[in-house]
Chains A and B, each alone.
Chain A
Amino acid sequence: MNLQKAFFAETLPLLLESDLSDFDRVYFGHETCDRRLPSLKELSEAKELCRRKSLPFSLVTPFCTTAGIKKLEPLLKSLSRDDEVIVNDFGVLKLAHENSETEIVCGRLLNKQYRDPVIASFDMAPSELKEHLKTSQVSSGLFRELLKGFNVKRVELDNLLQGIGTNLVGLDLTASLYHPFTFIAATRLCLCANCDKLSFAKKIGIFPCKKECLKYSFKFEAEQFKNPLFLFGNALFFENKELPKDLHEIGIDRLVFTAKEQQ
Chain B
Amino acid sequence: MNILAPFAKKSEVEPLTKAGASELYCGLVDSAWQKTYTLVSSINLRHDKIANLESLEELKQSCEIAHSLGSKVFLTLNAHFYSEKQLPIVMQQAEEAVKAGVDSLIIADASIISKIHKEFDVEISLSTGNPVFNSQAIDFFADLGVSRMVFPRHLTVEEIKELAGHAREKKMSTECFVLNVICPYIDGLCTFQHLVEESLGFTKATSLACRASYKATALGKESDEKKRIAEGHASLWSNSIMRDCGLCAIPFFKKFEVDSVKIAGRAHSLEKKLSDVKAVKQAIELTNSNASKERFRELYFELFHNKCDYKNCYYAGVGFE
Contact = CB atoms under 8 A, between A and B. Distances in A.
B122 interface: no
B178 to A, nearest CB: 16
Interface in B185-221: 185-186, 189-193, 196, 199-204, 206, 209-210, 212-221
Contacts of B202: 118, 121-122
Given A94-B140, A215-B222, A133 B40 contact: yes
Given A124-B201, A125-B40, A216 B218 contact: yes
A186 B191 contact: no
B115 interface: yes
Contact of A184 (B141, B163, B192, B317): B192
A91 B154 contact: no
Given A91-B136, A125-B201, A132-B83, A184 B191 contact: yes
A93 B137 CA distance: 9
A197 B209 CA distance: 26
B184 interface: yes
Contacts of A257: none
Interface in B124-160: 130-141, 143, 154-156, 159
B201 A220 contact: no
A186 B159 CA distance: 18
Contacts of B162: 66
B218 A140 contact: no
Interface stretch (B18-26, B223-231, B289-297): B223-231
Contacts, number: 253
Interface string B19-44: 00000000000000001111011000
Interface stretch (B48-56, B104-112, B167-175, B269-277): B104-112
A203 B143 CA distance: 39
B201 A203 contact: no
Given A125-B40, A205-B313, A216-B218, A90 B110 contact: yes
Contact of A189 (B184, B191, B192): B184
A185 B210 contact: yes
A181 to B, nearest CB: 13
Interface residues of A, number: 79
Contacts of A157: none
A68 to B, nearest CB: 7
A198 B230 CA distance: 9
B232 to A, nearest CB: 6
Nearest to A136: B81
B139 A129 contact: no
B220 A143 contact: no
Interface residues of B, number: 86
Interface in A175-213: 183-189, 191-192, 194-198, 200-207, 212
A137 B218 contact: no
Contact of A66 (B163, B184, B189, B212): B163
B311 A221 contact: no
Contact of A122 (B82, B200, B220, B226): B200
Contact of A218 (B80, B139, B221, B234): B234
B316 interface: yes
A231 B41 contact: no
Interface of B: 35-38, 40-41, 80-87, 109-112, 114-115, 130-141, 143, 154-156, 159, 162-163, 182, 184-186, 189-193, 196, 199-204, 206, 209-210, 212-222, 226-227, 229-234, 236-237, 309-311, 313, 316-317, 320
26 contacts: A65-B159, A66-B163, A91-B139, A114-B191, A124-B199, A124-B201, A125-B38, A129-B36, A129-B37, A142-B87, A142-B111, A142-B115, A145-B111, A146-B111, A185-B189, A187-B154, A198-B229, A215-B222, A216-B218, A216-B234, A219-B217, A220-B214, A221-B217, A223-B212, A224-B212, A231-B216
